[in-house]
Chains A and B, each alone.
Chain A
Amino acid sequence: MMQANREAGSPGTATPWVGGESTVPLLIRSLGSSIDVLRALTESDIRFRYGRGPFRFARWLLDPVALVGVYLFLVSFVLDLEATTPGLSLACAIIPFQLVMLTIANAMTALELRRPILLNMSFRRMLLPISAALTEAVAFSSSLLLVVVMMAIYGVAPTWSILWFPLVLVINILLAIATAYAAVLFGIWLRELRSFVTSFVRALFFLAPGLVPLAETSEDVQTLLRLNPLTGLFEAYRDVFMDGTRPALWELAFPLAAALALLVIFLPLYRSEQRQFAKVI
């Protein structure tokens, strides 16, 4: 098909012709075009991965419901842990975790899924990981309904602290995007180890206070658990939806710092490697 947007880079160069236009209109057009590309990639990804019609909404909702159900059984009956709102606490961990986890799974196969396009035309491949995160963010937005249901079941009324949710959500999505850049690269560098990457990320859920809030874990391990960026995220969701309090600074700062560190490391690597994607898929 057509190509208009090349991402040239050293050592060889491909120079598309761009007419003589001043910088500001060019930037505005470029931003508008990026949004269009991102939307087109995300819409097609949703259709490709989740199909069409109402059943995909059911799937987006039932996946976290099933997970909460399994872990609720584990926490309440097998481990016999005492908690006041275990279902809501689990939902506050599982839902943000699912966004990161599913984004990583999506990103690791993002190139293969779009193989026909990658081999046929040039487009803004830098946007692929963001599209992976946005696709799963759509699923995530449906599963947020589970939090509302859990709040209703446990009789937890929303408080003004819910105003912090947009900030928590932005950090959650930023962390998902940052991991997506790494995941695309792992997906092609270490494709035999994709299932290991998935298992490793799942393990991070249990190496964070996923099953029970941080306060209910042993004080000896709390400092270590805080180093896991998912810990801050889970606790921030619990603060906003369960406890009705403002998230602590570290709860936002740790996942944000992890996201920025991942971007600093993997964005330049991705920029360099994306020139070679069509050769290796």
Chain B
Amino acid sequence: MIIAEDVGVQFFFNRYLRVVTPGQARLRGTGVTTWGLRDLTFSIERGVGTALIGPSGSGKTTLLRVLAGVYSPDRGRIEIRGRVASLLSIDAGLLSLLTGRENALLLGVLGGLSRRSAARALGTVKERSALGEAFERPVLTYSQGMKARLGLAVAEEANPDILVLDEVHEALDHEFRQFLQERAHALIEAGGIVVAAGHDHPMLASLCSRALWLENGSVREHGPFDQTQPRYLDSVGST
């Protein structure tokens, strides 16, 4: 389950418009501050897929990063019950100079597996990612789709309760889209949660029954996908 109460995420810019930390802002003088998310309150029950929709800059990626623990809320409170797996970029957290195997081990351990478990899982990750020989090559030789497949395979290994996706599914080929849909449905049926953002709404509809419509970092509407998404499209003049 995910519960967010008045969540706010703030960004500080110095006078040269570079994003700085609050400590840095104190040290060098603050230029501007802006809220990426503001007063965000919502909850997501177990067994529900939720799509984040909204125009670019509405806070979808920021919210996904909060859910993944990449950002901490600067205000408010978020409670996340369960292990989170996140794919928040096409790079999927992979380091380009390391091989698929080395990345899988590193990300497995950073994600909470013991070293032994992560090492034991490497065969499964290789098989699931369908990378074949490429698994032993540096990731910089991979296509975007191959990176996404490896990222997804590693994420799967952690047996997550919550899967967080940011447009990554849009880089996958048809075979892996199918795989992702199957995994997402299995996770939801088992009482897990999927939160996905992107502009491929048919794909989002296949993963999520509910939609959280964000606008200027706040919740505009939270409801069934088939009701909220048409209203969002109407608001932007799209059909």
Q: Which residues of A sit under 8 angstroms from B107, Cβ to Cβ?
A: 1-2, 117, 121
Name the contact of A17 in the complex, choosing from B76, B80, B110 (C-beta under 8 A): B80
Q: Is A58 an interface residue (CB 8 A)?
A: no
Q: Is A215 an interface residue (CB 8 A)?
A: no
CA A135 – CA B92 in complex, angstroms?
A: 24
CA A44 – CA B21 in complex, angstroms?
A: 27
Name the contact of B112 in the complex, choosing from A4, A273, A276 (C-beta under 8 A): A4
Q: Which residues of B sit under 8 angstroms from A3, Cβ to Cβ?
A: 68-69, 83-86, 111-112
Name the contact of A279 in the complex, choosing from B21, B106, B115 (C-beta under 8 A): B21
B95 lies within 8 A of A48 (CB): yes
Q: Is B127 an interface residue (CB 8 A)?
A: no
Q: Is A33 an interface residue (CB 8 A)?
A: yes
CA A275 – CA B19 in complex, angstroms?
A: 14
Q: Which residues of B sit under 8 angstroms from A33, Cβ to Cβ?
A: 112, 114
A122 lies within 8 A of B70 (CB): yes
* A residues 237-256 touching B (CB-CB < 8 Å): none
B95 lies within 8 A of A272 (CB): no
Q: Is A203 an interface residue (CB 8 A)?
A: no
| Residue interface bits B25-48, CB-to-A below 8 A is 1, else 0 | 001100000000000000000000
A9 lies within 8 A of B72 (CB): yes
Q: Which of A34-42, A69-77, A143-151, A163-171 contacts B (4 or more CB under 8 A)?
A: A34-42
Closest beta carbon of chain A to B8's beta carbon, Å: 7
CA A7 – CA B110 in complex, angstroms?
A: 13
* A residues 25-57 touching B (CB-CB < 8 Å): 32-33, 36-37, 39-41, 43-44, 47-48
Q: Is B233 an interface residue (CB 8 A)?
A: no
Q: Is B89 an interface residue (CB 8 A)?
A: yes
Q: Is the interface of B mostly helix, strand, loop or mixed?
A: mixed
Q: Which residues of B sit under 8 angstroms from A278, Cβ to Cβ?
A: 65, 70-71
CA A7 – CA B70 in complex, angstroms?
A: 10
Closest beta carbon of chain A to B115's beta carbon, Å: 4
Q: Which residues of A sit under 8 angstroms from B51, Cβ to Cβ?
A: none
In this complex, the interface size class of chain A, counting residues with CB under 8 Å from chain B, is 35 or more
A40 lies within 8 A of B106 (CB): yes
Q: Which residues of A sit under 8 angstroms from B84, Cβ to Cβ?
A: 2-4, 122
A12 lies within 8 A of B75 (CB): yes
A17 lies within 8 A of B21 (CB): no
Name the contact of A1 in the complex, choosing from B20, B23, B80, B151 (C-beta under 8 A): B151
Closest beta carbon of chain B to A170's beta carbon, Å: 24
Q: Is B7 an interface residue (CB 8 A)?
A: yes
A4 lies within 8 A of B7 (CB): no
CA A276 – CA B71 in complex, angstroms?
A: 7
Q: Is B57 an interface residue (CB 8 A)?
A: no
A275 lies within 8 A of B72 (CB): yes
Closest beta carbon of chain B to A152's beta carbon, Å: 37
Name the contact of A2 in the complex, choosing from B73, B77, B97, B158 (C-beta under 8 A): B158
Q: Is A24 an interface residue (CB 8 A)?
A: no
Q: Is B93 an interface residue (CB 8 A)?
A: yes
CA A279 – CA B22 in complex, angstroms?
A: 11
Q: Which residues of A sit under 8 angstroms from B8, Cβ to Cβ?
A: 12
B21 lies within 8 A of A120 (CB): no
Name the contact of A272 in the complex, choosing from B23, B75, B102 (C-beta under 8 A): B23
CA A114 – CA B94 in complex, angstroms?
A: 9
Of all chain B residues, which has the CB nearest A278? B70
A269 lies within 8 A of B23 (CB): yes
| Residue interface bits A86-123, CB-to-B below 8 A is 1, else 0 | 00000000000000000000000000011011111111
Given known A-B contacts A17-B80, A116-B95, A278-B65, A44 and B102 have beta carbons under 8 A apart: yes
Q: Is A221 an interface residue (CB 8 A)?
A: no
A-B contact list, 23 entries, CB within 8 Å: A1-B107, A1-B151, A2-B83, A3-B85, A3-B111, A3-B112, A11-B75, A12-B7, A15-B78, A16-B69, A16-B80, A41-B110, A44-B106, A48-B95, A48-B97, A116-B91, A117-B106, A117-B110, A122-B84, A185-B23, A189-B24, A272-B22, A278-B65
Excluding A41-B106, A189-B20, 18 further A-B contacts by CB distance (< 8 Å) are A1-B92, A1-B108, A2-B157, A4-B112, A36-B109, A48-B98, A116-B89, A120-B70, A120-B88, A121-B88, A121-B110, A121-B111, A185-B23, A189-B24, A189-B28, A273-B21, A279-B11, A280-B19
